[in-house]
Amino acid sequence: MKGVGRRIQDDLSRLILSGEWAPGRRTPTEAELMAEYGCSRMTASRAMSDLAARGLVTRRRRAGTVVAHPPVHSTSVLDIADIQAEIEARGMRWAHRLLDRQERSASPDERWLGDAGVLAVTVLHLADDDPFALERRLIGLKAAPDARDVDFAVHAPGRWLLDHSPWTDGEHRIAAVAADRDATEALDLAPGEACLRIERRTWADDLGVTWAWQTFPGQAYDLVARFAPARQDPR
């Protein structure tokens, strides 16, 4: 027996992290947890309070406890992939244009995306009708076969993947680069202008899902992250 409080936290965090319980959904009250788990109120209260400290739920007296909404300015620089949400969070109107779409087999460099071929798309993101970011993306059709049937002129590929394709690991690479020819054209920049380049790869348990390069004009964009110290404490 690992402890009832622990079980409550594990059960609820699984439901929340898997998306089964959407943000805003009410969780059981402390009284309901007492009945369901046969524990005292202190135990239920402590468990929920810990979940709140971890940011998974939000508690308010009388209003009850609800599944927390994802952080607005993310807890980490790492969630930046959803350009649509970023633009809208800045109060601007987001739009995108599909510039290119091809299905082909994976090159040796891209083998980690699986052996079912890749979808290569190029998308321009607009904020209030101005070019905001150029995104080139490969999607592994083994991990995300449904992507074949999606019209990426309607759904932006980054957002569609976030909504439809679960992943377990990711990697970012962030660098400053001079604008190349494609970026100069698409983003209407001066040649050589400083741009932020974000390269993002994600996996679902060792199978590659997607590989994206996003280029932002330096003056239009910066990444903000809030964080706490990494800990060496054993749990």
Partner DNA sequence: AAGTGGTCTAGACCACGCC
Partner DNA sequence: GCGTGGTCTAGACCACTTA
Contacts of 96 (CB under 8 A, 6+ apart): 84, 123, 124, 125, 126, 156
Instruction: Select 38 or 229, whichever has its Cβ closest to a second copy.
Output: 229
Q: Which of 11, 13, 15, 45 binds DNA (CB under 7 A)?
A: 45
Q: Which residue, 88, 97, 120, 95, is CA-closest to 107?
A: 120
111 contact choice in a second copy, DNA, none (CB below 5 to 8 Å, kind-dependent) = none
If binding is defined by CB under 8 A, does position 70 make contact with a second copy? Answer: yes
Q: Is the dihedral of CA 206, 208, 209, 210 positive or negative?
A: positive
172 contact choice in DNA, a second copy, none (CB below 5 to 8 Å, kind-dependent) = a second copy
14 contact choice in DNA, a second copy, none (CB below 5 to 8 Å, kind-dependent) = a second copy
Restricting to residues 23-42, name those near DNA by CB under 7 A.
27, 29-31, 38-42
Q: Which residue, 99, 166, 94, is CA-closest to 130?
A: 94
Q: Which residue, 28, 97, 99, 38, is CA-closest to 65?
A: 28
Task: Give the interface with a second copy as residue ranges (CB under 8 A).
Answer: 6, 9-10, 13-14, 17, 42, 46, 50, 52-56, 58, 68-79, 166-178, 192-197, 216, 218, 221-235
